[in-house]
């Protein structure tokens, strides 16, 4: 039996919750105990009463959740005020984005927390099942946010995305044609903007061409071509992903400075360090800033603004993996499930994520080596 803890998220305006009441019911059905912090599901539309009726034990503070639990399940990465709540041997299942967060990486290693990052759980076909639903939400919201930021009261150029008859529509350039870029393009096309998607994968562009049927310009970029498109754009959306790794800076300060004043830059990759050189993390409380005359929207937890939709989408895909971890522990579940093996970040004080090790120049053990090493150590014990 594992005690699963669900603390309330405390990142700015983060309304998602890592487990909805029907997930509590499922865990209890499998013989586990669930401890939920009071109010954890409120913003997502789940009352304390719903959690209690599902069988959860409600407690008043995050400290009580962490103190009672073996496995902590969250939405966003722990922030420094939560670090003292962890103890050695805790297991953690959440989004981590460690390649952009050296301090958190060092903490998890020092405290010997066994962690699995949602964003690096990877299926055999290379898909990222726990990242995809939030990428879909973030992509759609990126275009919504850009449209809002273009408005004059927000400091924008006063342009309506789709224009009206007799006026030009906004030009939207999306860098990256993966899940985020695809969803951002859908909304931009729906708003009747002029849309271009840049991606280095010709096969992906061919797929997007089939889907959009000629309504979107699809471009294999190089530096000069990217600079040209950015310069004439009203909106640039950075939608680049290198799984588990720090995002490459593909849009330079010079490119941003070439845009018309009041244009908009949205960096969806900001939680992985950002793909726009002028970007820095913002919050839902203060979502924008102006740099080089361009309004930047760089909120690191975009889906948190639509807490209920995001919670329903996220928990529907995380629950099957959570059940495996609760049943076998992080180590045991990773031994049996290749997707979770690829999602391992830290194990017994060892860093087992290659992209994170490269980002911080830390020593690396592969997940297989870490699991094998632990077995040999246990075999040598008297």
Binding-site residues sit at 16, 76, 135, 199, 204, 240-241, 268-271, 280
Q: Binding site for substrate: which residues?
A: 16, 76
216 phi/psi in degrees, rounded to 5: -125, 135
DSSP letters, 12-61, are TT----S--HHHHHHHHHTT-EEEEETTTTTTTT--HHHHHHHTPEEESS
- Assess contact for 37 and 92: CB atoms under 8 A: no
Active-site residue (options: 90, 234, 271, 296): 271
Verify whether residue 25 is a known catalytic residue: no
**Residues that constitute the known binding site for NAD(+):** 135, 199, 204, 240-241, 268-271, 280
Catalytic site residue 271? Answer: yes
Calculate helix-pair angle for 307-336, 132-149, nearest 10 degrees.
150
Catalytic residue, chosen from 97, 234, 267, 296, is 97
Query: So which residues are the catalytic ones?
Result: 97, 271
């Amino acid at each position: 039996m594992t005690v699963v803890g669900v603390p309330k998220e405390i990142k700015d305006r983060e309304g998602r919750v890592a487990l909805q009441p029907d997930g509590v019911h499922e865990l209890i059905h499998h013989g586990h105990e669930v401890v939920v912090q009071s109010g954890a599901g409120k913003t997502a539309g789940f009352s304390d009463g719903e959690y209690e009726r599902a069988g959860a034990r409600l407690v008043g503070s995050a400290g009580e959740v962490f103190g009672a639990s073996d496995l902590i399940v969250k939405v966003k990465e722990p922030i420094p005020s939560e670090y003292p709540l962890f103890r050695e041997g805790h297991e953690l299942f959440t989004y981590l984005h460690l390649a952009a967060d050296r301090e958190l990486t060092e903490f998890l290693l020092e405290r010997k927390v066994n962690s699995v990052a949602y964003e690096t759980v990877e299926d055999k076909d290379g898909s990222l099942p726990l990242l995809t639903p939030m990428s879909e939400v973030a992509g759609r919201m990126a275009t919504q946010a850009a449209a809002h930021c273009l408005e004059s009261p927000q400091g924008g150029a006063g342009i309506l995305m789709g224009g009206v008859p007799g006026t030009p529509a906004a030009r939207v350039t999306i860098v990256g044609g993966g899940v985020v870029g695809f969803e951002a393009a859908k909304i931009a096309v729906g708003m009747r903007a002029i849309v271009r998607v840049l991606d280095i994968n010709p096969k992906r562009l061919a797929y997007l061409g089939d889907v959009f049927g000629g309504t979107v310009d699809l471009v294999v970029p190089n530096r000069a071509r990217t600079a040209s498109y950015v310069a004439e754009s009203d909106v640039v959306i950075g939608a680049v992903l290198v799984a588990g790794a720090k995002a490459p800076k593909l849009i330079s300060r010079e490119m941003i400075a070439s845009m018309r004043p009041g244009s908009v830059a949205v960096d969806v990759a900001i939680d992985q360090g950002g793909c726009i050189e002028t970007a820095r993390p913002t919050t839902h409380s203060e979502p924008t800033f102006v740099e080089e005359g361009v309004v930047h929207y760089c909120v690191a937890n975009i889906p948190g603004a639509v807490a209920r939709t995001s919670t329903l989408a996220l928990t529907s895909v995380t629950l099957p993996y959570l059940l495996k971890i609760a049943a076998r522990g992080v180590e045991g579940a990773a031994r049996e499930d290749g997707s979770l093996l690829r999602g391992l970040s830290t194990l017994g004080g060892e860093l087992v994520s290659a992209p994170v090790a490269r980002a911080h120049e830390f020593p690396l053990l592969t997940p297989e080596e870490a699991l094998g090493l632990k077995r040999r150590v246990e075999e040598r014990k008297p």
